Structure 1
């Protein structure tokens, strides 16, 4: 708190098994079992706890979000409502926030209906109609009436805590139900798509428009691998995929806010140079550090804060920025469509794409010790120039169209020749290379290859043969800075599904899609990696990429509404 990339006051997920600090738990005495689900078409979470004697209680968790005074009201606040369902359940509320990534225990003060947790840089206040002594001393009590717990900044709640909690819940549900009603969803897999869309919306920072890669840090890609990264930042690559996907669903506000975020980053850059990842405030200060005060997920450290990717050269960023922004020139629904002024800003990024498209970089998988001319990065630079040509044509700027179209053609010719491997009968991950890469599955999606190009079909076949284990795709199988990858990368399987669909292998794609959906957790969420053997999810969570994959594949595979009805 108070932002995605701030010091987490609740970090028990990374405490290992040694400590229970950094948590906010509601425990049922004599616990037996539980059920958990979201309220339909919302991110409001309902958990029902049962004890072994048949008593039960319901917990409703949510963060307020609704329209107020002509803007979205989303305070730094979580609200928990608890009510008895059956019998006389006994519960214990344990609120144990912690500061400075587990290193600082707060001072605690309290009043008649609130508790304050005073940290070095932030004060949390819990306001409640629950027993203050029961919270301070963690005493189990019989739940015989409804309880509301409002946790947020050190501000008073101006009205009855129960009434405020219920009012905020009703308004929050209205907001999300209105938002989901506006989605242009496919006929099939509607609930999966809605859940994914809501999750993507929650990964967008309302204040600046930044879109984070995931809400967690340092959940390892595989057990004890050391591949533990901080994903609470905005990768330009991820942002492009998210806004493109949400635009397909008909929701434009997230895209418009993200484009403003991009424009501000570009305006503040030196010589139009873009880094691959930024903080959600648009700044780049995120030196990667290891936090010694946290043991790590299941004690599998290290816990990292910051990300070294912010210091890397990843040349695809210029294509990411231009492709994300291109929508505003063609989408007539937008209040402020793209104009020549914005086009001139994007042209500066296009010139950088021309400059670097055949230069080595860290690639989309962010190799730390190796630099190559990565095919994906080169293709995204080509896509930047190709889309600038399309925009110039749309704006009637004939001279600029000729310029960008000519640049794109020259780049396409070189990339096509240098990234093709005759021996493998496939495009490969780097110029003149011999290693396959799952990002090549996007060559048709990005319009670099036509779907009927035989080289695209043979590339998909080669990737399926060499990078697929069971039903899951790896990004690559060659050794990297940390050895050989152990688990499959979730979005790559979605890319493979989309490639199969474009090739007309729709039944095969549908079966694989259903298999992949079955790996989601009980709430319909997915992480970054999957163990192909036991299908357990690993990596940061919920992963923006993976939720994008659900939506895109569902849209491509679904029976159309006109054919279904």
Structure 2
């Protein structure tokens, strides 16, 4: 495949979800990413990773010169409405991944029909519209056979069958479908695109796109109306909670780290990873964020996914991540025929981080269980066994080096954040002991917890640097140590902790965005919100508020954050939407609302 085609910036993409799969649509009306079976399945539209990997364009015909475009989500939903103003008139394109008919609230996504809906509504004048449909299943490997009728096309290749149904005549030509049509004020033209496996059941029955979009709006709105949040920045918190719901694989309760694979951390670089899986760290922080946003109805389902995915734990460290269906083996392979976003190679499917040892993970799970203990009610046997296994395992292995929370793929080290995570695991296990049954050993856990605390204070503090550093016996500042006050390891106003916070703000923060380390060129959005929370806990509410608002200004026009932010160009970098970025926004907004809040 080739490169050299103009690419939209990552921030130009809107996010659609049916709580099973995700699509990305550009401001100019091109669906450049859709994995219809589930979040981590192969794409049928993959142009975001290569110009020839499939797309579906729907927009005003002709050049963009003189055209003005505005877009917004419909209420508290992931239904996107884009208004195009042209010299001859204006139209609104509304698009969504369909909810199951009749689904409401937390039923959304349980049996979604895998249908992409798009409508064009004439608002004024008369606008010439154009659509170009070029599916390329299996991440662009396959060009489908087209079975054409005037208003219906079946595109079939390999394991995928796509049925496009349109309110206008369609023309087929060499693996593509075209149409141009006029839309006048008051006229509505609808399209629906239904996925089905080639050798499975038929696609969803034909939907009325207008009615199906209205159903989907109502399903999302009912979900959000049941979660009142009355703190500061309510619009931001609601938007981020909708995005987190959209990153949830509803059948299992898994939350994917992002909707995409291989969008680069640095343009032209090779740190391009697949984030369409459930990390236990992200799972824990997502539960924190949804607790703040009053979205706790699915707590038991989220925990059931984590516990069932893990199975019985042995002496080796707990796996850090799973597939959305609980799969353990997420072995990585390179899609070497794809050019990559902005020529950033390799493009990867799967993620070999599943093999890594990251010892903060048990602490994330035990912290979430402690926070939500009342919501979980009586712990069942599987949950008790898993939490006790995690605590016992932490006692046995905390002294080992690991890969750290940033998943470094080189030599293991004694990372400060990993040791603090081990302390969290044992501290929360001690507090949870009354819920954990006869195998609970709070005395043993407390002794190891206290030893970890002493060790971190002795070996992570660097007198020359005047701060806690990334690892034992290191001189390197790293934003990961900002977690220390957030988990109550040390108060933010402890002299050494406060010195560390100031050093990170001075050396790693630029215009509201914090880099993970001095060697990284881009800011990491999650760390930026960590710094906000640390400033709140230290009592500097004014500076925390200023930083929060500067960081929020880096979101795109739809309120979406990717993983990182280029401090020179202002471009979004990394996979998008990034769950941790939105989690950080919610948690720091909550702390700004109530600085005494602990979670």
SS in 1 for 2:133: strand
Q: Among residues 558, 563, 570, which one is paired with 1:528 in the alignment?
A: 563
Partner of 1:126 in structure 2?
A: 164
* 3-state SS in 2 of match to 1:193: helix
- 2:180 alignment counterpart: 140
1:367 is matched with 408
> Is residue 2:192 matched to residue 1:150?
yes
Partner of 1:189: 233
Query: Judging changes above 3 Å, is the alpha-carbon distance between structure 1 residues 399 and 542 closer, same or farther for their aligned structure 2 residues?
Result: closer
Q: Is the 8 A contact 2:172 2:178 kept in 1?
A: yes
Would you tell me which structure has more helix in proportion to its own residues? 1
Aligned to 2:480: 439
Aligned to 2:551: 516
Secondary structure at 1:34 match in 2? strand
Counterpart of 2:48 in 1: which secondary structure? helix
Partner of 1:46: 81
Q: Partner of 2:59 in structure 1? A: 27
**Alpha-carbon deviations, 1:109-131, whole Å to 9, x = none?**
13454211112112111223322
Gap regions ≥5 residues in structure 1: 478-483, 561-565
Q: What corresponds to 2:361 in structure 1?
A: 317
1:328/1:337 contact within 8 Å kept: no
Q: Find the partner of 2:470 among 414, 419, 429.
A: 429
Structure-2 residue corresponding to 1:79: 117
Residues 131-154 of structure 1 deviation map (CA, whole Å, 9 limit, x = unaligned) = 233796513122243222111224
1:248 CA displacement: 1.6
Matches within 5 A, 1:83-482: 83-111=121-149, 113-133=151-171, 137-144=177-184, 145-154=187-196, 155=202, 158=205, 161-162=207-208, 165-267=209-311, 271=315, 273-331=317-375, 334=376, 336-339=377-380, 342-393=383-434, 400-477=441-518
In structure 1, the partner of 2:577 is: 542
How far apart are 1:339 and its partner, in Å? 5.0
- Residues 1:410 and 1:25: Cα distance change in structure 2 (over 3 Å): same
Determine the C-alpha separation between the residues in 2 that align with 1:60 and 1:245: 29
Change (3 A) 1:310 1:559: closer
Preserved contact between residue 184 and residue 250 of structure 1 (Cα < 8 Å)? yes
> Contact (CA 8 Å) 1:315, 1:377: kept in 2 or not?
yes
Match in the other structure for 2:26: none
TM-score normalized by the length of structure 2: 0.86
Higher strand share: 2
Match of 1:503 in 2: 538
Q: Equivalents in 2 of 1:119, 1:254: separation in Å?
A: 37
Query: Structure 1: how far apart are the matches of 2:154 and 2:298?
Result: 35
* CA distance in structure 2 between the partners assigned to 1:539 and 1:386 by the alignment: 34
Whole-Å separation in 2 of the counterparts to 1:363 and 1:4: 26
Q: Say if 2:331 and 2:352, in contact at 8 Å, map to a contact too.
A: yes
Q: Deviations over 1:254-299 (max 9, x none)?
A: 4322211111122165556422222212113222222122111123
Quick check: 127-136 or 370-379, which moved more? 127-136
**Structure 2: runs of 5+ lacking an equivalent:** 1-35, 197-201
The 2-side partners of 1:372 and 1:156 are apart by 51
Deviations 1:375-433 (A, max 9, x none): 11111111111111111146797973333333322222222222222222321111222
Assess if the C-alpha contact under 8 Å between 1:328 and 1:338 holds in 2: no
Instruction: Tell me, in whole angstroms, the C-alpha distance in 1 between the residues paired with 2:594 and 2:360.
Output: 34
Q: 2:90 aligns with which of 46, 56, 59?
A: 56
2: distance between equivalents of 1:454 and 1:3? 48
8 Å CA contact 2:257, 2:277 repeated in 1 = yes
C-alpha distance 414-25 of structure 1, shift in aligned 2 (>3 A): same
Name the CA distance, whole Å, in 2 between partners of 1:356 and 1:93.
57
Q: 1:286-314: CA deviations, max 9, x gaps?
A: 22222122111123322121112122211
Distance in 1 (CA, whole Å) between partners of 2:248 and 2:440 is 37
Note if contact 2:90-2:125 (Cα within 8 Å) is conserved in structure 1: yes
TM-score by length of 1: 0.90
- Does the CA contact (< 8 Å) of 1:201 and 1:254 recur in 2? no
**SS of structure 2 residue aligned to 1:3:** coil
**Once the 2 structures are TM-superposed, how far is the Cα of residue 169 of structure 1 from its aligned partner?**
2.2
2:521 and 2:76 mapped to 1: Cα distance? 35
Deviation sequence 1:83-107 (CA, Å, 0-9, x none)? 2111221111111111121121111
Deviation at 1:71, TM superposition (A): 4.1
1:10 counterpart (45, 62, 70): 45
